[in-house]
Structure 1
């Protein structure tokens, strides 16, 4: 499964920000649930002020439980564990 260009561009921006020491972890509220989220942001400057660009939030629980990895034997599929 191919990663879309916009996701790859965002990842490249995140890598540049990390290399330059321009990353921040900011506490925010989820717009839908109002739960606290810890958001990874790139930090820039605009007109003498800081500009924080959010890229995503850290997983609240075990991230291995939150995502299904791609299936190496099926380029269009994901590894799904059997229901317990």
Structure 2
């Protein structure tokens, strides 16, 4: 199964941010459930303001039980 281009570009952006030490882990609130989420973000700037681009949240529980790797 091929990874869609948009996901691949997002991953490349995330890798660049990591190489430049421009990552942050933010505690946010899930918009649907209201539960706390710990969100991995790339950090950029817009003038003197920081811009946080969310890429995903850390999985609650055991991620090995939540996903099946491709065969």
Unaligned runs of 5+ in 1: 72-84
* TM-score, scaled to structure 1: 0.82
Q: Which runs of 4+ in 1 moved over 6 A?
A: none
Q: CA RMSD in A?
A: 0.6
* TM-score, scaled to structure 2: 0.97
Unaligned runs of 5+ in 2: none
Larger radius of gyration: 1
Shift of 1:69: 1.1
Tell me which protein shows more helix as a share of its residues: 2
Query: What does residue 48 of structure 2 align with?
Result: 48
Q: How many residues align?
A: 71
